[in-house]
Structure 1
Amino acid sequence: MPTISSLTYAALPAACFLLALPAAAQETPVPAGAEAPASEETPPQDIIVTGSTRAQRRFDVSYAINTISQEDVEKIAPVNFADLIGQLPGFQTEITGGEVQNIYRIRGLPNDGGFVSFQQDGLPLFHENDGVFFRGDAILKQDLMTDRVEVVRGGPAPVYASYSGAIVNAITVTGSDVSRGKAQVTLGDTGLYRLDAYQAGPVGSDTYYAVGGFLRYHDGYRDNGFPNDKGGQIRANLRHDLDNGYVKLNVNYVNDHNAFYLPIPIADPRDPDVSLDPYIDYFTGTMNSPAFRHVNLRYRDGNGQIQSRNGDLSDGRHMRMVNVGAQYEGDFDGWLVSAKGGYTQGKLDFSAFYSTTNPAAAASFANGYRDRATAAFGAIDRFGYVLAGTDTVYDPSAASGLVMQGQYRDIHSNFYSAQGNLSVARKFDTGFGSHDVKLGLYASAYGEDSRTLYQNYLIEVAGQPRTLDLVAYAADGSELGRVTDNGVLNYAATLNRGDSDATMFALYANDTWEIVPGLRIDAGIRHERYSYKGWAALTDQANLGDGTTLADDTTRAFTGVILNQKLKPHATNWTVGANYDFSDHVGVYGRASHLETPPNIQTVMSINPTILKTVADQFEAGLKLAAGRSYLYVTGFYTNFDPLNASFLAFDPTTGRNDVNVPFVGEAQVKGVEFDGSWAVTPWFTLNGALTVSDPKYKSFESTTGADPEQVEGNQIVRQPKVYGNIRPSFDFETGGTDVSVYGRYTYMGKRFVDLYNNTALPSYGTIGAGVTLRRQGWQLQLVGDNLFNAHGLTEGNTRTDSLSGQGSAEAIYGRPIFGRNVRLVVSTSW
């Protein structure tokens, strides 16, 4: 597999040089631009290009799409990219993991992000939606270089992208004849310091540049004891306009650290009515801790040698990625030719501390090791706890009376992805209406490797917990041995290594047939063929031989044997839609789509993977109403997902491994309706809102391991609510030469369940945010706050142990709480 090239290191200084270029011609600025200047009759926020043969008005398309402008971003004031997308109808997101690697769910598709294709200017940066512990929001980040984001839900997404039930397409800023730029500083009461900037303009005749990005340091919404986020991104492009089109070159560079928040215990499992807030704060507490800044990871290699390496939790998800690309578009007497290509190379080093089992009473936890400790050390009089690596006594009864375990995950991956798209479109008239036909070829060569080690630790129940040792004592008080070793319960509980490479190509076609003005039928098809090859290193159980501890008795060790694997999956997707506009203000549409997603490339570097093609049939019908600045889009939808693979690997507290395979395969059926509206009540007051109401449920499940599929039948799909949405009022007026915007946001998330059996609920919650923006003579001042009243709400649950039958309580006592109240000040200047 290739290594990161020198382009990674050349991109940043080159882009910084462009950013330093002075603004030429200080004329009246235009908004951060679309791909081409727009006329007053076609405002850029109403023109879409994603999932479409050619640019057209949003009102004219026969599918659900939203455009998020920079002004929308400002008023939504999201805490991360998932929070931004989550304000759209049909998108249910969980924003509590931190800045990246959050959950994106599309109505009708029960998956945690694998069906959302992240693109930049119509091309993915990595072919698959999920890499090794990263997805699109880790390599494509929102900043001022994003002019707008276009989001397609369902509709033609399966034809225009792979693995796609939705497309999130970031359209970048492009230069024009008028120089323009913006610099922005953001300060937050969570220790946030961020600088955003961009500059765009001409560099010569018909040639334009744009460059920008961000640098950010953030202590975090939760108190890790070290910074949560540090790093940034820079993007640049150069465009030259031709007589019949344009050529555009671009480069992206990301170098960013992001700590990951995992679930925390919020109530005592012995009595769920007893809060653990005095020990681990609901809003600021986390199991992330400086205690994991210098961990010793031990395992046995394929030659029988004991290896060790150091891990540092503060590294978080360290993403380094460079992407270079080129685009060409030309019009040859009505033949529209588009060619796009890009190459991405990156490296991910990921450290995180995952939740495993519920906290346990200290005495019960210790007694669970009595038999093993007696066999190893001899007769035991009693157990006791000390701070890890010391003889300093730790008394759990002086705190919560509980101890708990967690899992340090150390993951490393190199990845690359070359992708290209060539399409030709032509519109022609017939005796019965006109046809707009697009034919395309997409191809990609990509791959990734993985080195994974999971190691379990014993910790106290507290924010920034200390690691503990469980000590076995003789009757005379002497130490016989330790269950743990410097806090480690299990060295190398999970150990994997593998590599994979793939090639794929896709042929696709789409025809939009306008029968009469206002009546259009479109149909598209995409056929994909893949070729995977890879290997996985086999492991076995081993004892590393330290007789003073149990921590190394049941580790995983490489055997030196390699399992080579190949796979050649294929998929065929199609869509058919119809649209009729009664007038410029009223229209209806309907659509049927078929989505097939093959197994991802990681199957050929995994041992005993579940190889299953997933299939979803989606049906939509919509009503479109528009009048001036007001609009209402209502979309009814129905999805049948068959087969649905809801299998999972559960954590086994006896072995400390995530190796309990619980296979569950069946169907999912989701029907519902989504509302997307904006009501311009007066010239100075606008009310925006989004609402999704659905019935997500399981059907016809089977299991081969004794789990009862009947208890799943008809249940609500895990972690998916029946109702969710938001409402966003905005007041915009001018006073004393200052433009003022005052806005708010109420977000509601309905009741969900953590488990297939629907035994443990995640209660519904709602949060309120508000902000004010002042603009005067190119300067802008914004003050914005989230969750102003510290509403309580949980996401996720504890997926390592509760996915089948819950947490033993009616409401979750273990999960990822939403972020508490936080405030940000944003100061910017435009020129």
Structure 2
Amino acid sequence: MNRTSRFTRVTLAAAIAAVLMSGTVMAQDTATQTPAKKQAQAGSSASNPQSLNQVVITGNAAALGLRKIDASYSITTASYAEIKEKNPVSTADLLKMSPGVFPESSGGQTGANIEVAGFPGGGDAPFVTVQMNGSPIYPASTLSFLANSSMFRLDDTIDRVETVQGGPAVLYGNGQPGLTANFILKQGTDVPSGDIGLTVGSEGMQRLDGFYGFPLGHNWYGSIGGFWRKSDGVRDPQFSADKGGQLTATLAHDLDNGSVMFYARALHDKNQFVTDTPILNPSKGQFDNYPGFSPLTGTFGSNADRYETIATTPCATAGCTPGGVGVDLADGRGADIHMIGGNLDLDFGSGWSLNDKFNFTGGNMDTRSFFSTGQNPTSLADFIAGKEAADGLPTDLTASATYTNGKPADMNENVTTQGLWYVNKNIRSFSNEVHLSKELFDGNTLTFGNYTAVYSAKDTWFLGNNMLLQAKNNPNPIVVNLSDGATTYALTDPQGFTSGSSFALHEDWNATNTAFFVTDSWKLDNWLFDAGVRVEHQSANGTLTNNASGDLDNNPNTLYNNNASYLTGDTTKLNYSKSAPSWTIGANYTFNDHSSAYARVNDGIHFPAFDDLRGLPTTPVQKIHNMEVGYKYQNKYLYVDVAAYRRLFYGVPYTITTDNGQQSFTYGSATKGVNFQATIRPTDNFSIALTGDYMDGHYTNYKGCVSYQTQSGGTACDSITGMQLQRQPKFQYRITPAYHIPAAWGDIKFWATYEHVGDRYGDLIEQQPLGNYYDVSAGILANVGTHWTYTLRGTNLTNQIGITEGNSRLFGFASGGGVILARSIEGREVNFQVKYEF
């Protein structure tokens, strides 16, 4: 077992043991609300979390936050209890609680693409920032093989989450114009309290959760908690699909004029990543099971292909063995990350206050996973014939095909190739944000601030490495040799690789972002006005090791490595330096204690990330213009938050990674739409929650044309201008009826969620229709007595096929012979948890 994993597991077990021993002797009084606890739980509202009187701290400079009814922007919140009721399969999946956010929760725990309505991402999550206690966990929201959500796991240490789309968030933190999800940690209280939970799942999951908050004396408070789990996965690769844990601790102190809090988190988690798989595509937007490969439970992972060696370095003499690196698919696309951070709040009197928050993140975010090559399955005999023709070999060769276990392969069975990608990614970051506020006069507060982030990424990639596999679940690799009796041509190596790396990369990047901002808010009768401006500068420099292509073993008859990409050792330097402004103006009018309306205009920016600069060193700063109006209303029976928006983008870079490298270009977009969320409570015990989005978004300002394969098999070249935003549904919604039954022994709650995701296209030129889908999840939660909670939850209960992406290695038509390479949501999963709270 990895040393870090062992430490996390043993420490968590010790903490939980201490919880159990102390919980039996400590009083069960309600925790005293200290100043630090009040701030940490400012957004909690056990009686009605969707309350316009709820105080939120994300997206504003107010020292104690703002009530929702006063905020001139839309903000969505959830307590930890609500998070559980949303049945998220990952951190990314939870973010669909914010209207218009569509996470492609089909690849596993990590690596999800996350689309925000009207923000032309097209992959990864460039317009989503995950914060912990107000600090971005990594300043760049997305790098290749890394999104913020992949570095964050949900557990009992979370008190609540607040999500904001754009608006005033463009002024703070990393200036995210898209979605900012701020997770607030639980802290200790005057009276010790906590929980311990055990969860088992239908996919072979075993999970241990725990949290303990406690006083340390003299206004000091501590907490510790986390989880450990292992799982075979809904897509069982014959080894642990998910295995690891997380440990989080906080230390807080109440001062006479404020508070200070520190936190630390260690995450060590290995997760299987699932890429496109073969799916029947009989007509546009219609999908079904491919024989031998379920889109809901199938995976190319298996014990037969788990351990491999990738050739990376050419050797000098004919027939020599190239240098290589070992791969264990069980390492997956996980995280080995450590974070420390803190918050300081001070009130100096006379209207002066200061807030400072910092975060340090460091560790590895590596990837060992199969990725689609874009080639549809075909019979083994046809595959061999195609390779013979492509490589210009004689036509009278005799083929010998075996599995890697030595057994003969069936020439009539369907096969496919998958690229085994190897990515090492080491990251480091430090960010600090300080606010200095002064109340100029009654109702008017001026804030000056600075955000500074220093961060780096060091990557080594070997992409390609195509392996010949059976086109079925848990396949065997296939070894193929061709012979004319005198000469043998190795079509694959002894492991089944048909090619070496198609793209070798080593890069070392460092960047600094510094932003200064000033904001002012003015409460005037029923009006609350706010305005602010931010100027940010980014400087980045990178060192890229050059690459070349050639024969790795100086043997032309070993066809599998005759044109492999490898690193040469010499380097290229890249530098980038640019400044850009952001600004926002908003106004909110409170009609009464139950309703308010607002309007906002903002200009945001999105600086290029390291991958953008590598693909196009002159990448412009993206500019986002957003206009929105909204209305909020609440009474005993109804809660409504609806907003209409118009979003314009300029200078958007797009980079696609294929087996042949990367292609980059720029464009713009224009979108109009409506976000809505509502809760109806016809009785005290029954509620219906609705959240969703309608958006009409298209690409603009692209002057060239993109070459692609048409559905008739030909080629064409067309502009993307006017095409629907890639992978984004025009209409999506989620509806959740819930019923609560009080009882003498406790209470019980039932809920179910119906989710509808509308028609989308997998590419930029509308040649890959992904159709629409629905899924159903449900849960039952029973509180028994004062200590025990039992929860039964299930996702995709009706086993719906829901395509989230088409063949991401292609621009155009992806289906051939009624088959598409695509990725579906996972099949049914049910889990049951027993929790003891004290």
TM-score by length of structure 2 reads 0.90
**CA distance in structure 2 between the aligned counterparts of 1:51 and 1:166, rounded to whole angstroms:** 11
Distance of 1:791 and 1:781 partners within structure 2: 27
Task: Supply the AA of the counterpart residue of 2:661.
Answer: N
Query: In structure 2, do the counterparts of structure 1 residues 9 and 592 end up closer, same or farther at CA, with 3 Å as the change threshold?
Result: farther
Q: Which amino acid in 2 is paired with 1:95? A: S
In 2, Cα distance between equivalents of 1:671 and 1:317: 35
3-state SS of paired residue (1:156) = helix
Query: In structure 2, do the counterparts of structure 1 residues 37 and 268 end up closer, same or farther at CA, with 3 Å as the change threshold?
Result: closer
Quote how far apart the aligned CAs of 1:207 are: 1.0
Shift of 1:758: 1.1
Q: Which residue of 2 aligns with 1:611?
A: 619
The answer to whether the 8 A contact 1:503-1:532 is kept is yes
- The answer as to whether partners of 2:61 and 2:435 remain within 8 angstroms in 1 is no
Q: Which amino acid aligns with 1:246?
A: S
**Structure 1 residues 668 and 70: CA distance shift in structure 2, 3 A:** same
Among residues 289, 302, 326, which one is paired with 2:302 in the alignment? 289
Could you tell me whether the CA contact under 8 Å between 1:11 and 1:252 is conserved in 2? no
Indicate yes or no: 2:98 matched with 1:88: yes
1:554 aligned residue = 563
Residue 127 (str. 1) matches residue 139 (str. 2): yes
Aligned counterparts, 1:617-656, within 5 A: 617-628=625-636, 630-651=638-659
Percent identical across equivalent pairs? 26
Amino acid at match of 1:623: Y
2:252 to 233, 236, 239: 239
CA distance in 2, matches of 1:253, 1:301: 38
CA distance in 1, matches of 2:70, 2:397: 79
1:821 aligns with 2:821: no
Pairing 1:361-400 to 2, within 5 Å after superposition:
361-371=379-389, 373=391, 375=393, 380-388=396-404, 390=406, 392-397=407-412, 399=413
Q: Which residue is equivalent to 1:325? A: 341
Of 176, 183, 187, which aligns to 1:174?
Answer: 187
Name the structure 2 match of 1:3.
Answer: none
Change (3 A) 1:491 1:163: farther
- Give the match for residue 489 of structure 1: 498
Note the alpha carbon deviations across 1:247-300, whole angstroms, 9 max, x for none.
112111111111101110112799999965331122211112223322111122
- Say whether residues 1:428 and 2:440 are aligned partners: yes
Question: Per the alignment, do residues 243 and 760 of structure 1 end up closer, same or farther by CA in structure 2, a change over 3 Å counting?
Answer: same
Partners of 1:325 and 1:186 in 2: how far apart?
A: 30
User: Retained in 2: the 8 A contact 1:269–1:359?
Assistant: no
- Provide the C-alpha distance between the structure 2 equivalents of 1:423 and 1:17, rounded to a whole number of angstroms: 39
Name the CA distance, whole Å, in 2 between partners of 1:181 and 1:99: 26
Q: Give the aligned partner of residue 419 of structure 1.
A: 431
- Once residues 627 and 264 of structure 1 are traced to their aligned partners in structure 2, the CA distance between those partners, rounded to angstroms, is 48
Once the two structures are superposed, residues 432-451 of structure 1 have per-residue CA deviations (whole angstroms, 9 ceiling, x without a partner) of xx322221111121111001
1:114–1:163 contact (8 Å) kept in structure 2: no
Distance in 1 of aligned mates of 2:793 and 2:129: 30
Q: 1:583: Cα distance to partner?
A: 1.0
Q: In the alignment, does 2:264 pair up with 1:251?
A: yes
Equivalents in 2 of 1:95, 1:706: separation in Å?
30
For 2:203 and 2:277, the matched residues in 1 are separated by 19
In structure 2, relative to structure 1, the CA distance for the partners of 1:435 and 1:710 (3 Å cut) is: farther
Counterparts in 2 of 1:797 and 1:29: CA distance versus 1, 3 Å: farther
Contact 1:570 1:598 survives alignment (8 Å): no
Matched, 1:786 2:795: yes
Matched position secondary structure for 2:701: strand
| Counterpart residue number, 2:367 | 350
SS in 2 for 1:369: helix
100-109 or 807-816, larger mean C-alpha shift = 807-816
Q: After alignment, is 541-550 or 115-124 more displaced?
A: 541-550
Any conservation in 1 of the 2:5–2:245 contact (CA below 8 Å)?
no
* Counterpart position of 2:713: none
Q: Tell me the CA shift for residue 189 of structure 1.
A: 0.3
Given the alignment, which residue of 184, 200, 223 partners 2:236? 223
Cα distance in 2, alignment partners of residues 638 and 585 from structure 1: 27
Would you say the 8 A contact 1:538–1:558 is kept in 2? yes
Q: 1:154-185 CA deviation, whole Å, 9 max, x = no partner?
A: 21121113251221000000112122101111
After superposition, what is the alpha-carbon deviation per residue over 1:540-584, rounded to whole angstroms, capped at 9, x for unaligned?
111121344201100112222111222112232111111111111
Moved more, 339-348 or 272-281: 272-281
Contact 2:40/2:185, CA 8 A, preserved across alignment:
no
Deviation at 1:115, TM superposition (A): 1.3
Confirm or deny: 8 A CA contact 1:388 1:469 kept in the other structure.
yes
Q: What amino acid maps onto 2:566 in structure 1? A: A
C-alpha offsets along residues 617-654 of structure 1, whole Å, 9 cap, x if unaligned? 11111011111363101100110111233342444xxx
Structure 1 SS opposite 2:382: helix
> Does structure 2 retain, via aligned residues, the 8 Å contact 1:471–1:479?
no
Flag structure 2 segments of 5+ consecutive residues without an equivalent: 709-715
What is the distance in 2 between the residues matched to 1:710 and 1:374?
33
Corresponding residue for residue 110 of structure 2: 100
**Distance of 2:315 and 2:159 partners within structure 1:** 51
Query: What is the DSSP-based 3-state SS (H/G/I as helix, E as strand, rest coil) of the residue aligned with 2:365?
Result: strand
State how 1:457-468 maps to structure 2 within 5 Å. Answer: 457-468=467-478
Provide the residue aligned with 2:89 in structure 1: 79
- 2: CA distance between counterparts of 1:38 and 1:564? 48
When residues 410 and 94 of structure 1 are mapped into structure 2, their CA distance, relative to the original with a 3 A threshold, is: same
* CA apart distance, 1:413: 1.7
User: Post-superposition shift, 1:469?
Assistant: 2.4
Aligned match of 1:654: none
Displacement after TM superposition at 1:700 (Å) = 3.0
Residues 41 and 159 in structure 2, CA contact (< 8 A), matched pair in contact too:
no
Equivalent residue pairs, number: 804
**Residue 51 of structure 1, aligned match among 54, 59, 62:** 59
Query: 1:714 matched to which residue of 2?
Result: 722
Q: Report the AA paired with residue 725 of structure 2.
A: I
| One of 123, 134, 143 as aligned partner of 2:155 | 143
Q: 1:63 to 1:405 in 2, by over 3 A?
A: same
Question: CA separation of 1:59/1:709 partners in 2, compared to 1, >3 Å: closer, same or farther?
Answer: farther
Alignment partner of 1:278: what SS?
coil
1:302–1:559 CA contact under 8 A, matched in 2: no
**Equivalent residue letter for 2:827:** G
Residue 755 in structure 1 maps to residue 759 in structure 2: no
- 1:761 Cα offset (Å): 1.1
State the match for 2:77 in structure 1: 67
Q: 1:185 and 1:227, CA in 2 relative to 1: closer, same or farther beyond 3 A?
A: same
Structure 2 residue 599 is matched with structure 1 residue 590 = yes
Q: Secondary structure at the match of 1:646?
A: strand
Who is 2:712 aligned against? none
Offset, 1:670: 1.0
527 and 101 in structure 1: CA distance in 2 versus 1, 3 angstrom threshold: same
Counterpart position of 1:152: 164
